[in-house]
Structure 1
Amino acid sequence: MKSIVKHSAIFILAMSSTSLFAQQKEVKLPPEATEFYQPVPRKVTPGQENNMAPDDAIVLFDGSNLNQFESNRSEGGAAQWTLSDGVMTVKPRTGDIRTKEAFGDMQLHIEWSSPTEIKGEGQGRGNSGVIIMGHYEVQVLDSYESKTYTNGQAASIYKQFPPLVNAMKAPGEWNTYDIFFTAPRFNKDGMVISPAKVTVVHNGVLVQNAVELKGPTEYIGIPNYRAHAEELPFVLQDHGDLVSYRNIWVRKL
């Protein structure tokens, strides 16, 4: 008897599912039902040449001055890096520099070049970094023909994620990073409710695909989120090497 009841229930459920599926298939909508006209995306004029800023971008460095940057020391002050021929270069031992403006979710374009004079190996060779919000580092390093730990090579999320591939150009040539960043979200108690996410395109090649960061960059130890402001400046690192930068712009998202 139990077996009959069981099989009857299964039969009824199957028939119900079939009926529901049949009803779903019978629903027909005109194409207009899935079209909408609001909101209308605003118009943006792309850069006239490759990698140039679109007209809605905030241009932070166009080669003319360092006015959009300051020293990353607690007291601030003018950025002390070298400016020559439209390029800014790390001036060793003057310290990191940061943007005067704060950013959260953003699209960041930045170009950089390793020194042509080869010195050192691994982390001692053309080392710098783009430290988003002052916490989350996309590594800058001469990884063209130099070995180091893979989650510390160029285009890695430092000490967290190695790049999918090594897309480095030779020392002295210009590399491009296009970084798409989603800032972390914290609740009122300071707990992270949505981790930071980063996508990095290195010289036109996808190398970080919407990775979820484990926390801020740590040289030693395990990263752990600590609540911070929704927008913060990003930092360019002075690691003692003559790394150069040009054509830096941001679009707030």
Structure 2
Amino acid sequence: MTPEPYSADAGLGAKLRRRYARLVHRRPARLDLARPTVSFTFDDAPASAAAAAEILERHQARGTYYLCAGLFGETGHMGRYINAQEAADLAVRGHEIACHSHGHVDAHRTDGVALLADSERNVASLTALGGSARHFAFPYGEVSPAAKARLADRYGSLRGVHAGLVRDGSDLNQLPAVGIEGADGEAVARHWIDQAVKTGSWLILFTHDVSDSPSAWGCTPATLDRLAAHARARGCDLKTVGQVLDR
């Protein structure tokens, strides 16, 4: 079953829940950055994002792919999703295979036992393909205190979608990230790269499909290429999430 286009709950209760989640069950990051660092990450991921790996490789970089094994080979509103062979190929080429949930379930709305079972199923599938499956991104960016508490011991980091930079002491259980998406996605990402340079911080960028006619959640190949080039030109290291945290 493929995920449908999603609109986050905009109600007051949902806003309070998301804000409260950022205050609890925290795990401080201990970073050792030699210079400002940018990670390019891909959620779900459509097959076009796998094809875009060669763009990063031209910049001597690798990406982090947060995958749902339950979507392998399926077709959704962003096109066909990556299949198992494509995921294995990315791992061989040095890209990081990380986790969404197996069935792209909303962590906030999923029972805790079911969430752990879904997560374990995804880890087993991705590990069998050569992926480390050590890091996780919340599907839809939807997180709750209970979901953070359930998953914190299973992964080296949990990534959200609230914009920001990662600094020493940032929450490993809800890392901020900036989307490369929409009409102003490139300008927004470029701004955050410059902020990472200014503050000596780590920036995690995320997108979904990468095509000449991307969805509202994706970007073009040219955008990805220009952003990687800009980060390099500004003196940033380009590393996967795992490479940063392994230091």
**What range describes the TM-score normalised by the shorter chain of this pair?**
under 0.3
* Greater share of residues in strand: 1
The TM-score, its normalising length taken from structure 2, stands at: 0.23
Larger radius of gyration: 1
Q: In proportion to residue count, which structure has more helix? A: 2
